[in-house]
Amino acid sequence: MGTVPEAWVGIRFGMCSQFLVFDLDTMEYLVVSVPPHQESPEQVSLAAIRAVARQDVSAVITGHIKDICRQTLLDLGIDVIEGVEGMTVLEAVEHYKATGLPTPESRKGLPIRVAVVSTGEGLEAPVELRFGICSSFVVVDPATMAWEAIQVEPDGPAEKVNMNGVRAVVRSGAGVVITPQIDSECCVALQALAVTAYLAPEGITVREAVERYARGELEESLVTPFENPPTT
């Protein structure tokens, strides 16, 4: 879900915009970008499989993966470690080196806090306004649905307002942002700080946005530092 080892492990293989590929002997890594523009989910999954296979990896660590993708990777001789949640990439790799992450319990870390863009407070507040011009977030623990409201200083030029939003999210401890819209500069800034942006329909509640995220139903904002696509 980011381009640094401190980023969270992605929740859904096939919809990520990049992989971090590690050499377990040296712990050196490289970032492999996945083309973000595809016509269907099947093509996105195929692009992810190709990106992994080209790196000659021996294992893939992920949150969730479709059966057909898992079987394709296994057929290619690539082991699949799924169900990893609440761990950074570095934590997951270190646990994999030490234990192989053999059981479902060993693959669970701390819950990822989610910052949802909203002008209200609480789980029933609506998701509205694009990231960057918002004045507040509702930060939620998906495991317990406990929440807190975070205010953002909205004054100043657009660049300052955008950075105020990025700083507010990072200081809240959130690893995920849910918003109806986000521009590429904010998306790249968040990603560099190991925070991933997901897009949700405007008008749904904070509760529904978090539940959709937990079910893997939200689309990741596929902006990467390797490309400069139009603003989403």
Closest CA to 191 of 173, 215, 212, 166: 166
Confidence at residue 37, expressed as pLDDT on a 0 to 100 scale:
56
Going by pLDDT thresholds of 50, 70 and 90, the confidence category of residue 4 is: confident
Instruction: Order across the sheet with 147-151: list the strands.
Output: 147-151, 136-140, 113-117, 174-179, 196-199, 219-220
Q: Write the pLDDT tens digit of every residue in 75-110.
A: 999 999 999 988 889 999 999 999 999 999 899 887
Structure tokens at 31: 């970032």
Quick one: what percent of the chain has pLDDT higher than 90?
A: 48
Which of 140, 135, 138, 141 minimizes the C-alpha distance to 149? Answer: 138
pTM of full prediction above 0.75: no
> What DSSP line would sit under 9-65, residue for residue?
PPSBTTS-SEEEEE-TTT--EEEEE--S--SSHHHHHHHHHHHHHHTT-SEEE-SB-
Radius of gyration of the chain (CA): 17
Residue 32 token pair: 């492999």
Query: Which is the CATH superfamily of the domain at 113-220?
Result: Dinitrogenase iron-molybdenum cofactor biosynthesis domain (3.30.420.130)
In terms of C-beta density within 10 A (0-12 exposed, 13-18 middle, 19 or more buried), how is residue 222 classed? Answer: buried
Task: Answer yes or no: are the C-beta atoms of 182 and 115 closer than 8 Å.
Answer: no
Left, alpha or beta for 158 (phi > 0: left; psi -120 to 50: alpha)?
Answer: alpha
> Quick one: what percent of the chain has pLDDT higher than 70?
88
Grade residue 162 by pLDDT with cuts at 50, 70 and 90: confident
pLDDT in tens, 185-194: 888 888 877 7
Per-residue pLDDT, averaged over 139-161, amounts to 81
Q: In CATH terms, is domain 18-107 a member of 3.30.420.130?
A: yes
State residue 157's pLDDT score. Answer: 60
What is the rounded CA–CA span in Å between residue 102 and residue 59? 13
Instruction: Outline which parts of the chain fall under CATH 3.30.420.130.
Output: 18-107, 113-220
Count of CA atoms in the C-beta half-sphere (13 A) of 13: 27
Is residue 177 a contact partner of residue 117, using CB atoms and an 8 Å limit? yes
Cα–Cα distance measured from residue 99 to residue 85, given in angstroms and rounded to the nearest whole number: 16
